[in-house]
Copies of this chain bind each other. A is one copy, B any other.
Amino acid sequence: MIDKSPETPFLVVDLDAIALNYLTLRRLMPQARIYYAMKANPAPEVLSLLAGLGANFDTASIFEIHQCIAAGIAPERISYGSTLKKEKDIASAYQLGIRLFAFDSLGELEKIAAHAPGAKVYCRILMNNEGAEWPLSRKFGCDVDMAYDLLLHSRKLGLEPWGVSFHVGSQQTDPTQWDKAICTTAKLFSALKQAGIKLQMVNLGGGFPGKYRAETAKIETYINTITNAMHRYFGDDIPEMMLEPGRSLVADAGIIQCEIVLISQKSYTDNKRWVFLDAGIYNGLSETLGECIKYRIRTPHDGTEIAPIILAGPTCDSADILYERANYQLPVNLKVGDKIEILSAGAYSNATSSVGFNGFPPLKAYYI
């Protein structure tokens, strides 16, 4: 517990809320194995909470794997979900007991075969990320044709072709995107079955939303869409399912407390106030880059008259503008020193802080 409010900015994360989110997801989809995408918030407090509740872990690097192992998480509960791994990191992971690896290219498959012999591998297929507020389309995955060949090839390399993964994009606002992806995946399963390979697992990725400014469907709607699609496209032969929630478990559990440093105008004809906070893209709010994630903001004057603003962070860097085109409005009688709350800020916030750009320390975080 925090006795006295520390100096802003800081993040407060409610661990009970994370537990509830995890247990809700498990209840809604008991047949899926949940792998927490720990990059969203890798705090030891979050890891040990979720480990205690039985979660598995999706890791993005050997460093995250080391963190999991250090937290006492057994290697069979860890997936090495990055499709970009150094050979020595694959070897280290294998030595630590990790047996589940993602890939999306021939080069990666060959590295895994060389350094993790016999491991289970799953191929990430490329999805277009329509409807996602933080799209992931271009960088990860390969075409289905190529995935087919690579999964066939994986067996020749002595690996166990285990499944297929996709990711419909982070903060995906359109649940039907899973339907499309599952349809594609089922066809790939079927084609490989005809070629003598029986895949065992569909990794449905992450993408479930946090509560930002725009309304999104409820988690139940997402799960229903997914469950229905699995039945529709896989019939009675439903494979093991992996889910990789990150944002949806931790985002809504966190609030960034910050403060107004300055309110100003650039000219006498300026019709928008500039509001400067002590938190910005380099110390907790990197997801506002490109104005992608539109946080809900609470002020001490909510309910009073509002007017348009431009919101910016504290550094001497012009990239540190949070919202300029997203039509944010805040109360007219905001003043310097007012405490501001950035809601649903538990994901990709302190984890992406800079080491201290402009001298500002990384966003502090308190887990209660």
- Hey, which bits of chain A sit against chain B, CB under 8 A? 39, 42, 59-67, 81-87, 104-108, 111, 126, 134-143, 145-146, 259, 261-268, 274, 276, 278, 282, 286, 289, 312, 314-321, 324, 336-337, 350-362
A80 and B116 alpha carbons, distance in the complex (Å): 54
Provide the residues of chain B in CB contact with A289, threshold 8 Å: 289, 319
Provide the bound-state CA to CA distance between A64 and B359, in Å. 5
Copies of this chain: 2
Question: Which residues of B lie under 8 Å from residue A142 when comparing CB positions?
Answer: 264-267
Q: How far is the CB of A285 from chain B (nearest CB, A)?
A: 13
* B-chain residues with CB within 8 Å of residue A316 when the two chains form the complex: 39, 60, 81-84, 140
Tell me, rounded to whole Å, the shortest Cβ–Cβ distance linking A7 to chain B: 9
CA distance in complex: A82, B67 (Å):
38
Residue of B nearest to A82 (CB): B316
Residues of B contacting A62 in the complex (Cβ-Cβ under 8 angstroms): 359
* 26 CB-based A-B contacts, threshold 8 Å: A39-B359, A59-B359, A61-B314, A61-B359, A63-B356, A65-B359, A67-B359, A84-B261, A86-B261, A105-B262, A105-B264, A107-B263, A108-B262, A126-B266, A134-B318, A134-B319, A138-B318, A138-B321, A139-B274, A139-B318, A139-B320, A139-B321, A142-B266, A145-B268, A353-B355, A355-B362
Instruction: Pick the 3 closest A-B CB pairs, nearest first.
Output: A63-B359, A105-B264, A143-B267
A84 contacts which chain B residues (CB < 8 A)? 261-262, 276, 314, 316
